[in-house]
């Protein structure tokens, strides 16, 4: 079960964290995997690129060495799968189109798209939110997912098979104090997933959203050290009293990409350890 042999997957924002784990998981299931990210470790302009994203997290990732694009591709090749790491900015439509065409030409198909690329470092109340950061978040989190989906769509229609995964969040289903831009964009990608599901059905394309809670990525683990009291409170709001791991999210994605999930589309699969249940009970 859950065999992805012969499938080609493309994952955005896959240099670290959830995206990297998604890539490795799909490869273990048999897929060839294309790693895309704005950060690639052998890029001579890596520092300039990281700073140019106007994202604190991207610059921290570069400084901390959390850029594993080529390393992940090499790990996948050691599993006997095809893989390559490609620099791609999801907000650059021309670049997205070029990368999708390159992958189609070199790998023969694109069966799976995981829209994972996102930014989460704009924390401010509505009254204090910076317009430029709002626009950046919409461009990356929402429009970026749209750009990639639009460019891969003709290939999936032509082959009459596709799986599109949109990364949402508990912030997109519940809202988030001081996270207006992140919450709004993550709620919007849920609607985008449902629309893609409606339009993709006759082409055997499924589209689903994953809504994680707090997952122990590099950035989340660092944030938990500096904001211990806040993260302790988050942890207590899960039924397990612990945060999730990237592998939990990746396993859910692997299932939704499989043949066995071929009749599941337009859904939001919550991977939040019951965090939403306890939050609802506290409000009640």
Q: Which of 131, 155, 182, 255 is catalytic?
A: 182
What DSSP element (H or E) covers 112?
strand 112-115
CA distance 257 to 165: 8
Residue pair 155/100 in contact by the 8 Å Cβ criterion? yes
Ramachandran class of 160: left when φ > 0, alpha when ψ lies in -120 to 50, beta otherwise: left
| CB-based burial, 94-126: b 16+ in 10 Å, e otherwise | ebbeebbeebbeebebbbbbbbbbbbbbbeeee
Examine the residue annotation and report whether 231 is marked as an active-site residue of this protein: no
Q: Token pair of 188, please?
A: 């919007």
CA distance 115 to 147: 10
Q: Which residues are catalytic?
A: 182
């Amino acid at each position: 079960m859950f065999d992805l042999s012969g499938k080609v997957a493309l994952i955005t924002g896959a240099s670290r964290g959830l995206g990297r784990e998604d890539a490795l998981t799909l490869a273990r299931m048999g897929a060839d995997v294309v790693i895309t990210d704005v950060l690639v470790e052998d890029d001579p302009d890596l520092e300039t690129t990281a700073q140019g994203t106007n994202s604190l997290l991207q610059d921290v990732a570069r400084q901390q060495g959390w850029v594993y694009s080529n390393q992940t591709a090499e790990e996948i090749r050691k599993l006997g799968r095809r893989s390559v790491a490609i620099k791609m900015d999801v907000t650059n439509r021309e670049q997205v189109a070029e990368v999708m065409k390159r992958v189609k030409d070199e790998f023969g198909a694109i069966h799976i798209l995981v829209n994972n690329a996102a930014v989460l470092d704009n924390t401010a109340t509505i009254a204090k939110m910076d317009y430029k950061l709002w626009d950046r978040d919409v461009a990356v989190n929402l429009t970026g997912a749209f750009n990639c989906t639009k460019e891969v769509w003709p290939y999936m229609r032509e082959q009459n098979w596709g799986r599109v995964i949109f990364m949402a969040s508990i912030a997109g289903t519940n809202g988030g104090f001081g996270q207006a831009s992140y919450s709004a964009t993550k709620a919007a990608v849920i609607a985008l997933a449902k629309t893609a599901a409606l339009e993709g059905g006759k082409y055997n394309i499924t589209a689903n959203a994953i809504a994680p809670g707090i997952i122990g990525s590099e950035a989340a683990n660092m944030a938990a050290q500096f904001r211990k009291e806040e993260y302790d409170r988050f942890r207590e709001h899960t039924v397990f009293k612990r945060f999730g791991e990237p592998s939990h999210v990746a396993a859910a994605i692997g299932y939704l990409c499989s043949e066995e999930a071929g009749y599941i589309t337009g859904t939001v699969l919550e991977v939040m350890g019951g965090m939403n249940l306890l939050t609802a009970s506290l409000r009640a």
